[in-house]
């Protein structure tokens, strides 16, 4: 079982968006997946509740949890046959984020191509470094005009940070799919949103498999 933590010190960067759509995508590929929601706001938890009411969808259950119960929950998920657990964290909760990053095999840091997000990235990267967990930044909510994206890429490169090869566009499909507790790969397969989540998931899966193999070797 692999564990992926969504971390960013900036609220609204896209942690929950990544968590739910990647979880639904993983499920669709037969990877038994769960989400541990560590944000008291409970956006992922509410998505999970709508999902369990949605008769068309199964799996990708979401557990709302206190940080202290995470190791026990992960053990229980492993015993129950989960293959992927995604930790969704709250912004401005550094010690919780460090603990989440510590139990994770890989950390994803979503970042909008905007100055306020970019300014928060070094602090988010420090959380993953402190936890000694491999991590990458994912550009999220990128507009159709490319200028901001290119500037953001240059800034992240200047900071020496790894960037996921797939950026997520700013698309209403993400919020639309969440209404019935779905992921974009389920709600509107074949759209740009579903294609980019598929591509991101494929890359992420290769990264976690690679980093775990390195750790074992
Ligand atoms: N790629 C995107 N395109 C359009 N809207 C997005 C995208 N990513 C996130 N959002 C929206 O932005 C808001 C904040 O995103 P969210 O994932 O909840 O951030 P966080 O969990 O990091 O606080 C939500 O309303 C979400 O639906
Ligand atoms: Mg969130």
What pLDDT does 67 receive?
Answer: 94
Could you tell me the residue ranges of all domains in the chain? 2-216
- Ligand 1, atom 20, residue with closest C-alpha: 12
What pLDDT does 55 receive?
Answer: 85
Give the ligand 1 atom nearest the CA of 11: 23
Task: Specify the residue for token string 């499909």.
Answer: 173
Token output for 202: 């494929």
Is residue 113 within 8 A of residue 150, CB to CB? The reply is: no
Q: Ligand 1 mean position to 64 CA, how many Å?
A: 19
Neighbour-count burial of 77, counting CB atoms closer than 10 A to its CB (0-12 exposed, 13-18 middle, 19+ buried) = buried
Tell me the ligand closest to 40's alpha carbon.
Answer: 2
Question: Which CATH superfamily, name and number, covers 2-216?
Answer: P-loop containing nucleotide triphosphate hydrolases (3.40.50.300)
Give the distance, in angstroms, between the CA of residue 43 and the centroid of all CA atoms in the same chain.
13
Give the ligand 1 atom nearest the CA of 172: 4
What pLDDT does 214 receive?
Answer: 61
- Ligand 1, atom 8, residue with closest C-alpha: 14
* 194 CB near ligand 1 (under 6 Å): no
What pLDDT does 74 receive?
Answer: 97
Give the ligand 1 atom nearest the CA of 178: 27
Per-residue pLDDT of the chain (217 residues; tens, 9 = 90+): 999 999 999 999 999 999 999 999 999 999 999 999 999 999 999 999 999 998 888 888 999 999 999 999 999 999 999 999 999 999 988 899 999 999 999 999 999 999 999 999 999 999 999 999 999 999 999 998 778 899 999 999 999 999 999 999 999 999 999 999 999 999 987 899 999 999 999 999 999 988 766 655 5
What pLDDT does 57 receive?
Answer: 86
Tell me the ligand closest to 197's alpha carbon.
Answer: 1
Question: In Å, how far are 16, 113, 136 from 167, measured between CA atoms?
Answer: 16, 10, 12
* 15 CB near ligand 1 (under 6 Å): yes
């Amino acid at each position: 079982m692999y564990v992926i933590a969504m971390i960013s010190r900036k609220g609204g960067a896209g942690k929950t968006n990544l968590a739910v759509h990647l979880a639904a995508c993983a499920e669709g590929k037969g990877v038994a997946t769960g989400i541990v929601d560590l944000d008291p706001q409970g956006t992922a938890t509410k998505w999970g509740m709508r999902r369990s009411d949605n008769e068309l969808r199964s799996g990708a259950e979401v557990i709302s949890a206190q940080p202290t119960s995470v190791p026990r929950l992960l053990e229980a998920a492993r015993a129950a046959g989960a293959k992927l657990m995604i930790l969704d964290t709250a912004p401005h909760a550094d010690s919780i984020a460090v603990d989440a990053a510590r139990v994770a095999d890989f950390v994803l840091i979503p970042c909008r191509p905007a100055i306020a997000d970019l300014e928060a990235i070094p602090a988010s990267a420090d959380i993953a470094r402190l936890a000694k967990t491999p991590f990458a930044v994912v550009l999220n909510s990128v507009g159709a005009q490319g200028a901001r994206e290119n500037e953001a890429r240059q800034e992240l490169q200047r900071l020496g940070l790894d960037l996921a090869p797939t950026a997520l566009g700013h698309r209403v499909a993400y919020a639309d799919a969440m209404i019935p507790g779905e992921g974009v790969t389920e709600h509107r397969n074949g759209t740009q949103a579903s294609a980019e989540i598929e591509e991101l998931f494929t890359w992420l899966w290769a990264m976690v498999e690679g980093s775990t193999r390195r750790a074992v070797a």
